[in-house]
Structure 1
Amino acid sequence: MHAWPASEVPALPGKGRDLRIHDTATGGRITLDPGPVARIYVCGITPYDATHMGHAATYNAFDLVQRVWLDTKRQVHYVQNVTDVDDPLLERAVRDGQDWTELAERETALFREDMTALRMLPPKHYIGAVEAIPGIVPLVERLRDAGAAYELDGDVYFSVETDPHFGGVSNLDAEAMRLLCAERGGDPERPGKKNPLDPMLWMAAREGEPSWDGASLGPGRPGWHIECVAIALDHLGMGFDVQGGGSDLAFPHHEMGASHAQVLTGEYPFAQAYVHAGMVALDGEKMSKSKGNLVFVSKLRHDGVDPAAIRLALLSHHYRSDWEWTDQVLADAVERLGRWRAAVSRPDGLPAEALVEEVREALADDLDAPAALAAVDRWAERQNAEGGTDEGAPGLVSRTVDALLGVAL
């Protein structure tokens, strides 16, 4: 599966700072110290509807991670999946009378268009669950053969009790886990499971649903968590720098994935940091496909909204915060974009070297994009009011905003 084209990232004078970021597993801020190649895995979409603002906010957060790393003169090895076969996708296809593969391909293509318009840097490897199945089956067999998985009516489940570190990502108690498991795709009430929290690794073929050759597992399709584990281990290996996604993925998805990988390899941890973006609401409730309260990037673009303004609307909230999308949020972003473009359109301006360092410091401090925007606001306000004589300043500000915030002025 192919990703989307990359926009050029301008080089800035000097060098960026190492990223200090909130780690869900430890509950505190840690300084990431990747090698020459920083490794990041971000969980992708289930393509039965394209990019809503909650998706966009999450991918914007991890785009900033990449940009901070690139500014430190590192390379970035970014991997993202597409869950192109799963219950919600199949259910939507049946509801709408569509072929599920056509639905997945169409919505994935629209997602690529949205990411391109928003100037999100693409992953090096963009992998669909279906194409990953040949690598998933042997992992499930290994877990089963090692006694870490068991069969139940043809399905194969992972035993969470085989990982001594289980629970160390989300740090939730058993009751909270059980409740979230039921809400987020698990089946804690199924009779016969060793532990209610045990997640499915391989679902035996169901009538009327797609299935694939599972070798000794029999025909079926993979569970959600093992999909990401197989892709991450194949392309990044254990101990990569950041596992990212929305805060609703901390449990069960990232918790279970970490356990799968740690039992498979005997190594710990799966990722050095677990980083989670907050939820975006509309009309007082979290945006979700099940509720239908969605604002789509593609719809805004179709209505003539500048993608740079959409990106500024996302950047105006700290990535870990839960916030609400409103017309005013977008209006403020449009107004800010106009002020910034007016400021950099002058032939010369106020010196901007200090601004570059302010933006760098803000983003290195747990991706504090609102502080970075405020720094550019201050420069633009003075520039629009007073002007200056530094011929290189407007260009330097434009390159800084592009390189570090992904906004083209």
Structure 2
Amino acid sequence: MKQAAVWIAMMMGVAACQPRTLQPGKAVVVSHTGKDASCPFITKDADGRPVISWVETNSNADTGLMYYAVSNDDGYTFSEPVVIPASAGVYPHDENLPKLLFKPGGTVIALFGVEANDPRNKYAGKVMYTQSFDDGKTWQPALPLVTDTAGYDQRYFDMALLPGGEAAAIWLDNRKDTNAEGSTLYFATTAGRNGFQHAVPVASTICQCCRTKMYVAENGNIHLAYRDIINDSIRDMVHQVSADGGRTFSAPVRISADNWVVNGCPHTGPTLTANSTGLHFAWFTMGGGQGAFYCRSVDNGNTYTQKESLSKSPMAKHPQMTTIADHIMIVWDEPVKWKGDFNSRIGFQYKAADGKTMEAGVLTADSTYANFPVISGVKDNKTLVAYKRRAGNKSEVVVSLLSMP
């Protein structure tokens, strides 16, 4: 079986007092040559092995199939791509990102979006899921996440493993009990092999087309972050937490009072992670400054630090973050001028446990076009970064393994 090697070079300072520096490594393609690939996502299987998933389409196709590859050596190499046949019809949307989740005991869930073509909303989409009960060897027919006929539009979902071994999902839904603009955020959990059950609304008036984020902390708390519509016009990021497995959630609280008034959808959602010092957030806004920003909370979301800019670029977007050895690694994409035109590159910040920036820079060359990065910590103080990269008139999914300073 052919494997793709994933390497990262670590540069040492010439002087003894010069600190070690994180350097961008060789990005290796994991998607099929000749296919149009997008929507990279990183997770781990039930044995803790890194897994990368993505979507591939044929030329001029609007929909495609999900694929994934598994690493048996902590991210240095990955297997040949494995197809998920039941995902046929997945719509490739890098913000409405298809996801994989591995439950204990051999169950794998693929969650993905498809076009709905509903007369009530010509732009409507549906969230589908398929389950495998034999570690991905075979897959059940895909099912809709929502079976209520009043629910004709679902999108911008996330999924996470709960401490008891079940999966939880959140998504944006057209069903709501208010005339105010926005979608409702729903929450549901799996019940063994019976799939997602007992969907309940968590919050309303959510910005209709930005990623949502769910993070399950080590203590079992379920944290949610998303872009809310506040006072009918402000689209700022908020945070909620559940300490009882999702039965109840705290009221939404803004992580930063950006007061961004915009009559439209920014198409870039928040991210969050946690370490020994508390919660860490990153997001895009054009309120009170423009670009990608960071803040943290040391008291489980009661208060938040003042936001700080992640990049000098005012158009840095799509931040993603992870915890590695109690430190924080954040990546995003940002435009860069190249030979009279604009490309897109991947920027990063590597932070100490308390949020202090230790290093910042870029992971991709200005001469390439790379965007929509995703990130996950692996063993031995290393981090995997995957992203979409332009290749001629197509795109490909590539991955690098970073050794942290």
- Normalising TM by the smaller chain, what interval? under 0.3
Structure ID, larger Rg? 1
Which TM-score applies when normalising by structure 1?
0.23
The higher relative CO (CA closer than 8 Å, separation ≥ 6) is in 1
Which structure has more helix as a fraction of its residues?
1
